[in-house]
């Protein structure tokens, strides 16, 4: 196994919704063990890219390969090695965590007993062993998020897609999860991390990709980006590259409207 | 999760599914999860408590089948009589199709329109085909239960009457009918989603649900009379427009095979019954991908909706709400009651019934005596039946699907919530009671003449007084602040007590009509009492913080 093994490659990816061009030619090669911070403003095309990679959206132009297999709507085998935490906590919440997690595990072809045991142990690590047999509907936001994280990792995937995975987690859980990601990456797992929280992306990613208006506008390590853009934090680089510099004006306008009463 | 009997039965067809390239193991797991969730359609915190009580999980739908068995009795005359088999069987299929279709729309739309499936399941190694088949099988399982409940008794009776061929024809055509309905519903949704957004579709589904509850309730009333009005002798003359009436297609084979009576029309009807369902399935499978794409509209509501200003309501607002606080709450309650689908679903059927009920009693009277006799009698008092919906609707006012939003009342700087109650009740009267009252009054004046206008005014004031009395049910809880899950299906004793109350009002009104000038005097007294009661309730019952 070489370090430079290609896990994911995207060539000239374009996607149109009607007349609207959402992705305008994305080129990207991801190697094994990388933690990619995938960032961009709302509506830049982040979610669309992830949906295409997961095979949820067809009808695109270009070539997308994961583990050397072409991604199409009919090819489902590559999904066995993928884990996914969606941005919106969509899950069947009338089920208990035990029922949901075993169901997901079984869909990945795992044995019921094995998933059950594994899920229970993972829940315990997150401090959720008491609610393992309670319905997810009764969980708090952070607890749901932990269930989603567990469900994405049950089958020991080689490639992880995380869309805002920290939402609702408390500071301690965030620490655990960031450490989990670091260990997984060190073991050769590849992580595709999409978020709006720049501090976290800055700290955990070893490669940052900034997408704006359907195109990649920056690609490199945080230090590389810093050198190119002469800015101190990822947040500032983000503002600069997306051409957004009127935040002060807008904030002032907002407050002045508030004060009118 | 338990091992469902239905799924064990489905296991017999495993080979068949696999031959079509479906991952049976995955499909079975999806179905197990779906059926488990159906047994728990109550995803709230309160359910967790219910679970502790070891309440057995039960599927609301399976429980409701009993009602359909009862309705199926209505179908018996159509299979027993032998005037015109084609005509009778067409009505039979007409009723079956109507009930299955409405039930399909009201109970299974969420299955067809579930957008979570895509995100949860397709990101796992499950292919689209398997998921779509799982969805279809899920619906079919319920449709089979429903159809069996609805037709088993009539078909058994019909088999005794007409022989084994009847049984065979019925089973084949019922399968075709069900296929046709699933596909037709999906196609209708497809077109709605193509031209409108998801909110519109949810509204349409909501109104179908309301219509279904009304028609089932009215169906019970008709049930008793079903035997009396089918003995009419109708000779059936085929003509071209009948090609557009699907129940006739399915009725035709019975005429051909059981009556040995065939002509070009009957044969073409029968062919349509066979060909159209099959063709529609082919169209459906072709359309599935673009249907899925349109489904996304359900989640993202692009396109701003237009704001409708109602000037008449603003005018009314100034008249009936004295202070500004009341006006604020009136506007808020007006928006809540108009927009909340779950509220409409709980209240509108009762509203529809209150429109229908007075007439059921009038029809009874006409059947027993004569129209002329009824018009000169005091049967116009049957309009009081329309008030029966008031206690039910008022108990519903404290519930909301989004009850968690109620924290706003606590955090906002509000001194006293009494204006909230009074304006919610005003909205109830204006939005819900008034339309029913106006429609009924117009019809009753047409039937009984202008001299009942003062009686109708009495009714209106009584309704307001009655609303105040019923508002006791709201005591201690804020409007829109509790989950519908907590609502008992029937108000039980409370509603019965309230109904007795309306009976008393009717009795007083009836007595007063015998006194000269009784009604106008009663009206004035009633207005005084109502104003007093409203003010009293404002200070006591609604005074809540």
Q: Tell me the domains of chain A and their CATH numbers.
A: 6-87+157-260 (3.40.50.300)
For residue B115, the model assigns a pLDDT of 75
Residue recorded with tokens 């009341």: B326
The DSSP secondary-structure symbol of B307 reads P
For residue B31, the model assigns a pLDDT of 92
For residue A158, the model assigns a pLDDT of 92
Overall pTM surpassing 0.90 (yes/no): no
Distance from CA of A76 to the nearest CA of B (A): 5
> Chain B contacts of A77, Cβ < 8 Å?
125
Task: Categorize the per-residue pLDDT at B222 as very low, low, confident or very high, splitting at 50, 70 and 90.
Answer: low
Residue A5 has pLDDT above 50, yes or no: yes
First to last CA, chain A: 65
Asked if residues A153 and A104 have their Cβ atoms less than 8 Å apart, the reply is no
Tell me which of B57, B120, B485 to substitute to probe the interface with A (most A C-beta atoms closer than 10 Å). B120
What is the tens place of the pLDDT at every residue in B295-328?
766 665 555 555 566 677 777 887 888 788 888 8
Tell me which of A42, A92, A144 to substitute to probe the interface with B (most B C-beta atoms closer than 10 Å). A92
Residue B205 has pLDDT above 70, yes or no: yes
Mean pLDDT over all residues of chain B?
Answer: 80
Q: Which of A54, A74, A135 is nearest residue B123 as measured by Cβ atoms? A: A54
Residue A4 has pLDDT above 80, yes or no: no
Establish how many alpha carbons lie within 13 A of residue B450's alpha carbon, considering only the half-sphere containing its beta carbon.
0
Residue B99 has pLDDT above 50, yes or no: yes
Residues of chain A with a CB closer than 8 angstroms to some CB in chain B: 54-56, 73-74, 76-77, 79-80, 82, 84, 86, 88, 90-95, 99, 103-104, 106-109, 134-135, 137-138
For residue B201, the model assigns a pLDDT of 76
The answer to which of B2-16, B19-33, B353-367, B428-442 has the lowest mean pLDDT is B353-367
Residue B48 has pLDDT above 50, yes or no: no
Residue B529 CA: distances (Å) to CA of B52, B217, B503, B543: 48, 35, 18, 20
For residue B465, the model assigns a pLDDT of 92
The DSSP secondary-structure symbol of B11 reads G
The answer to which of A133-142, A195-204, B477-486 has the lowest mean pLDDT is B477-486
In whole angstroms, what is the distance from residue B175 CA to residue B157 CA?
Answer: 19
Task: Categorize the per-residue pLDDT at B508 as very low, low, confident or very high, splitting at 50, 70 and 90.
Answer: very high
Strand order in the sheet with A35-39: A82-85, A159-163, A190-194, A35-39, A207-212, A215-220
**Sequential DSSP letters for B95-138:** HHHHHHHHHHHHHHHHHHT-SHHHHHHTTSS--HHHHHHHHHHH
Percent pLDDT > 70 in chain B is 86
What is the tens place of the pLDDT at every residue in A198-221?
888 888 888 999 988 888 888 888
What is the tens place of the pLDDT at every residue in B121-139?
888 888 888 888 888 888 8
When pLDDT is averaged across residues B202-218 and rounded to a whole number, the result is 75
Asked if residues B145 and B65 have their Cβ atoms less than 8 Å apart, the reply is yes
For residue B40, the model assigns a pLDDT of 73
- Say which residue, B56 or B32, is predicted with more confidence: B32
Distance from CA of B284 to the nearest CA of A (A): 19
Angle made by CA atoms A45, A25, A160, in degrees to the nearest 5: 55
What is the tens place of the pLDDT at every residue in A184-199?
989 989 999 998 888 8
Mean pLDDT over all residues of chain A?
Answer: 87
When pLDDT is averaged across residues B269-288 and rounded to a whole number, the result is 85
Residue B461 CA: distances (Å) to CA of A72, B60, B387, B434: 68, 40, 11, 11
Residue B232 has pLDDT above 60, yes or no: no
Asked if residues B356 and B214 have their Cβ atoms less than 8 Å apart, the reply is yes
Residue B463 has pLDDT above 90, yes or no: yes
């Amino acid at each position: 196994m070489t370090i430079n093994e290609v896990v994911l490659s995207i060539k000239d990816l374009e996607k149109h919704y009607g007349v609207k061009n959402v992705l305008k030619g994305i080129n990207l090669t991801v190697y094994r063990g990388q933690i990619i911070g995938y960032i961009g403003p709302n509506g830049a095309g982040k979610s669309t890219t992830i949906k295409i990679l997961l095979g949820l959206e067809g009808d695109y132009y270009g070539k997308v390969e994961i583990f050397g297999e072409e991604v199409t709507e009919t090819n489902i085998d590559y999904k066995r090695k993928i884990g996914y935490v969606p941005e919106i906590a969509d899950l069947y919440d009338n089920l208990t965590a035990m029922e949901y997690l075993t169901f997901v595990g079984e869909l990945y072809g795992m044995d019921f007993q094995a998933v059950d045991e594994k899920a229970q142990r993972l829940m315990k690590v997150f401090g959720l062993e008491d609610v393992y047999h309670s319905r997810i509907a009764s969980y708090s936001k952070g607890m749901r998020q932990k269930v989603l994280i567990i469900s994405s990792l049950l089958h020991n995937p080689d490639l992880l897609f995380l869309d805002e995975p920290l939402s609702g987690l408390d500071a301690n859980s965030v620490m655990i999860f960031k450490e989990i990601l670091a260990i997984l990456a060190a073991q050769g797992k590849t992580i595709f991390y999409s978020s709006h929280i720049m501090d976290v992306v800055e700290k955990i990613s070893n490669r940052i990709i900034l997408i704006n208006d359907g195109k990649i506008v920056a690609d490199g390590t945080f230090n590389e980006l810093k050198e190119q853009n002469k800015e101190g934090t990822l947040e500032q680089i983000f503002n600069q590259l997306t051409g957004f510099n009127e935040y002060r004006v807008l904030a002032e306008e907002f407050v002045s409207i508030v004060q009118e009463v | 999760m338990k091992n469902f009997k239905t799924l064990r039965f489905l296991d017999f067809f495993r080979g068949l599914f696999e031959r079509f390239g479906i991952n049976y193991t995955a499909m079975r797991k999806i179905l197990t999860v779906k059926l488990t969730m159906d047994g728990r359609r109550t995803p709230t915190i309160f359910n967790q408590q219910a679970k502790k009580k070891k309440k057995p999980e039960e599927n609301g739908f399976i429980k409701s089948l009993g009602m359909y068995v009862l309705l199926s009795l209505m179908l018996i005359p159509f299979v027993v009589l032998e005037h015109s088999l084609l005509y009778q069987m067409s009505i039979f299929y007409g009723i079956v199709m109507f009930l299955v279709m409405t039930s399909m729309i009201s109970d299974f739309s969420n299955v067809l329109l579930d957008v979570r499936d895509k995100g949860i399941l397709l990101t796992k190694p499950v292919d689209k085909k398997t998921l779509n088949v799982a969805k279809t099988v899920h619906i079919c399982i319920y449709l089979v239960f429903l159809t069996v409940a609805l037709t088993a008794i009539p078909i058994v009776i019909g088999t005794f009457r007409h022989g084994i061929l009847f049984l065979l024809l019925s089973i084949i055509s019922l399968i075709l009918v069900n296929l046709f309905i699933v596909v037709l519903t999906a196609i209708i949704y497809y077109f709605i989603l193509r031209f409108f957004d998801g909110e519109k579709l949810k509204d349409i589904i909501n109104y179908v649900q309301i219509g279904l509850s009304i028609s089932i309730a009215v169906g019970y009333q008709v049930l008793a009379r079903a035997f009396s009005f089918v003995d009419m002798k109708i000779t059936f003359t085929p003509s071209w427009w009948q090609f557009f009436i699907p129940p006739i297609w399915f009725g035709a084979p019975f005429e051909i095979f059981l009556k040995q009576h065939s002509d070009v029309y009957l044969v073409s009807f029968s062919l349509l019954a066979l060909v159209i369902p099959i063709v529609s399935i082919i169209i459906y499978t072709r359309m599935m991908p673009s249907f899925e794409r349109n489904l996304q509209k359900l989640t993202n509501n692009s396109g701003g909706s237009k704001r409708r200003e109602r000037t008449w309501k603003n005018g009314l607002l100034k008249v009936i709400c004295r202070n500004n606080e009341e006006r604020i709450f009136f506007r808020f309650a007006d928006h809540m009651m108009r927009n909340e689908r779950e509220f409409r679903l709980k209240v509108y059927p009762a509203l529809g019934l209150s429109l229908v009920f007075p007439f059921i009693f009038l029809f009874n009277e006409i059947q027993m005596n004569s129209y002329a006799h009824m018009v000169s009698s005091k049967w116009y008092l049957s309009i009081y039946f329309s008030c029966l919906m008031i206690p039910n609707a008022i108990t519903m006012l404290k519930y909301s699907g989004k009850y968690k939003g109620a924290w706003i009342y606590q955090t906002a700087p509000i001194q006293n919530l009494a204006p909230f109650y009074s304006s919610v009740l005003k909205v109830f009267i204006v939005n819900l009671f008034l339309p029913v009252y106006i429609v009924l009054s117009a019809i009753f004046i047409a039937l009984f003449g202008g001299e009942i206008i003062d009686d109708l005014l009495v009714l209106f004031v009584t309704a307001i007084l009655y609303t105040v009395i019923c508002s006791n049910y709201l005591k201690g809880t804020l409007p829109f602040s509790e989950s519908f899950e907590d609502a008992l299906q029937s108000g039980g004793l409370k509603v019965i007590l309230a109904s007795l109350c309306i009976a008393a009002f009717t009795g007083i009104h009836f007595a007063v009509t015998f006194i000269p000038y009784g009604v106008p005097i009663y009206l004035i007294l009633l207005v005084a009492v109502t104003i007093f009661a409203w003010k009293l309730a404002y200070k006591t019952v609604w005074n809540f913080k």
